[in-house]
Amino acid sequence: MVGSRERDQCLQGRASGKSGTRFRNARVGPSSRDIGPGDSRAFGGNQGLERKENETMTPFAIAGIQMYVNALQPNTEGMLHRLDILMARFPWTQMVLFSELAPLGPLHRFALPLDNEHVAQFQAAARRHNVWLIPGSMFEKTADGRVFNTSVVIAPDGSIVSTYRKMFPFRPYEADVEAGTEFCIFDVPEVGRFGLSICYDIWFPETTRQLTSAGVEVLLHPVLTGTTDRDAELAIARATAAQFQCYVFDVNGLGAGGNGRSCVIDPAATVLHQAAGQEDMFPIEVDLDMVRRQRETGIKGLGQVLKSFRDRSAEFTVYDRTSGADAYLGSLGPLAMPTQGTRAGLGVDVRDFAFESMPKRAPGDILGKSPSIRERN
């Protein structure tokens, strides 16, 4: 079961991205209060991320399960059945990821407190199979009646080491779902660092930027997409892997859980697996040495993206909400459901907003014109 104490054990940071962001080490087994510095049972920080010279790669196999999701009844029994099949067929699997909202379906009227029998069954299954288990997500109902889209990360001993509340509910379609504000990062001992985002989160690269800037090497991304924008989402998943030099495990559902086409992408943006529109289970062994190598030397010896961002000269004033750099966004109107025949946006002239916050120019200057050689000299 999960409660406030377990939630506090998550690796979390504030979504603001300010310098005060903190991450706490996820753990398996004894509490940090029970172990002293240097105890081999403790892990976190950069432990497991640094490999001794001449030490061989630690193999780690992650499986996605793309399955049919029912909207009107729990899917937990079906998920556990497929997990049993996966582990019988591919017993070398070490982590399993299901799709967004797989256990209880996509209707938030079925939201439950996170301390529930479904989570308990997943904990027991993780212990039985000795695997890391992320059973997609479920709508969580809090004591004050709010609803979040929440994932749990379960360790092989059945303990919950992290939880994550989706930061970007699919608004306005999910107008009644609250947004989370804390990131989820956890370490697998002697393997590497993992991060979690849910579906629409990936459309906002700032979320992945925060995770990879803290060392995340594998992005676990449960999805529920059954709409015509799945092609765009797949393009974003591939771009995310390249931009942030990480693995992306993007697992969608079927039926009420999506239109499938789950994918696994490596840090060079190579698609390692692309599911179709039927049930699928796909274990993939990741090579985190590839992540570390490419972050040092670049993708195919070319772009060193994370280091280039670290060494940037520019600061992005758009993230300062008091700067006025995002004045145009105010012209877009409320985040609301489109109506039949709406003409929203058709009467807006972008020129009224685009340059309000740009530096003033001298009379006669042409906006956007580069200075001539004579002007520079």
Domain boundaries, the chain: 4-16+60-310, 315-334+348-359
- Cα separation, 165 vs 151, in Å, equals 6
Phi and psi angles of residue 185, each rounded to the nearest 5 degrees, phi first: -135, 135
Taking alpha carbons only, the member of 161, 199, 156 closest to residue 180 is: 199
Give the three-state DSSP class for 40: coil
So what's the pLDDT on residue 345? 81
> Tokens 């172990």 label which residue?
35
Residues in the chain: 377
So what's the pLDDT on residue 343? 87
Strand order in the sheet with 218-222: 185-188, 192-196, 218-222, 247-251, 263-265, 271-274
Give the three-state DSSP class for 163: strand
So what's the pLDDT on residue 243? 97
So what's the pLDDT on residue 342? 87
List, run by run, the mean pLDDT of 10-residue segments along the chain (377 residues).
42 37 36 33 41 62 98 98 98 98 96 97 98 98 97 98 98 95 97 98 98 98 96 97 98 97 97 97 96 94 95 94 92 91 77 53 46 41
So what's the pLDDT on residue 55? 54
> Tokens 């520019």 label which residue?
314
So what's the pLDDT on residue 181? 97
**Cβ–Cβ < 8 Å for 79, 135:** yes
Q: What is the DSSP string of 60-113?
A: EEEEEEE-EE-SSS--HHHHHHHHHHHHHH-TT--EEE--TTTTT-S-GGG-B-
| CATH code 3.60.110.10 for 4-16+60-310 | yes
The reported pTM is 0.80
**Cβ–Cβ < 8 Å for 210, 21:** yes
Q: Which two tokens stand for residue 154?
A: 């379960």
- Cα separation, 278 vs 68, in Å, equals 8
So what's the pLDDT on residue 348? 61
13: CB partners within 8 A, 6+ apart:
21, 22, 23, 182, 183, 185, 210, 214
User: What is the pairing mode between strands 132-134 and 95-97?
Assistant: parallel
